[in-house]
Structure 1
Amino acid sequence: MTHTRLTQLVQALLDAPTVQALLDAPTSNETVKEFAQSWINAEGTPKQEELTKQLVSVAEQNIALIDETIGFAGSELATQILGAESAANLLQHAKDIKAEGAKFCDCDACVAAKNIIDLKAEIE
């Protein structure tokens, strides 16, 4: 599947963030950002198909389960990185969305990853 087709499919089916969102999201790690940039840069090249096959795996490896988010938000590391108030806000938010049935973090990077994972059958 070409990048153009995948982008069209995502926009048509989900009207939701995809690979560009992985690149743009402040919460994406550097490995994900590098992969996303490579995927975008590969448009129209032979490398395109190879990277597209890896896309779902990258998304699956980098989406945070809601319990992982809760664990991080309640940690000393989160307090050090985010500050006490932001960590507490993240923790409460994560608990709230879990209570509503969320299985995954709802940051921009995780939402984009989830949208890609939801297209697994069409991508592979």
Structure 2
Amino acid sequence: MSPSSAPPPDQKIYEIARDLPRLPAWASGLASGTLSLIDANSLHLESPMGLVHTEFTPINTYGILDHVVTLPDGTKVLNPFRVIPHDTGSELIFTVRPNENFEEDCQAVAADLERLVALAEK
């Protein structure tokens, strides 16, 4: 693909992030082992939290990657996630809600997003 036909950085990041079988390559906070696709938007996967069910917002042109993770105890956690075009590339916005592990969660999400960007830059 020549540089002129390459997708914009935000689209490339979105495409990689939305490619559910690729989650283990960058989202270690969510996917740490095998996964089983259910359909185009949902999957079961091994995670650091145990076996979880994850359902993503359908593929869209707005860069929305929101997903609900159902934890082993049945708790559902909404994870808002956006890839937004920016003058210098892309802005990734992932909401981490306050909890007892907030700082650790923020560091884990930052590391995951750095891996996602590295994949897009290859």
Q: Give me the TM-score of the superposition, normalised by structure 1.
A: 0.29
Higher CA-based Rg: 1
Structure 1 or 2: more strand by fraction: 2
Q: Give me the TM-score of the superposition, normalised by structure 2.
A: 0.29
Structure 1 or 2: more helix by fraction: 1
| Greater relative contact order (CA < 8 Å, ≥ 6 in sequence) | 1
